[in-house]
Amino acid sequence: MPRKMAREPKSVAATPKSLKPAAASADAPAQAGRKIDQVLILLRRESGATLVEMTDATGWLPHSARAVLTGLRKKGYRIERRKRDAASCYHLLSAKP
Q: Is 88 inside a domain boundary?
A: yes
* Number of domains into which the chain is organized: 1
pLDDT, residue 80, reads 95
Domain that holds residue 90: 31-94
Q: Which residues of the chain have pLDDT under 70?
A: 1-32, 96-97
d(CA 38, CA 44): 10
pLDDT, residue 33, reads 74
CATH of the domain at 82: 1.10.10.10
Whether the CB-CB separation of 44 and 96 falls below 8 Å is answered with no
Q: Is 37 inside a domain boundary?
A: yes
d(CA 62, CA 35): 14
d(CA 49, CA 40): 9
pLDDT, residue 69, reads 96
Q: Is 7 inside a domain boundary?
A: no
Give the model confidence (pLDDT) of 30-58 as tens digits: 445 799 999 999 999 999 999 999 999 99
Q: Is 90 inside a domain boundary?
A: yes
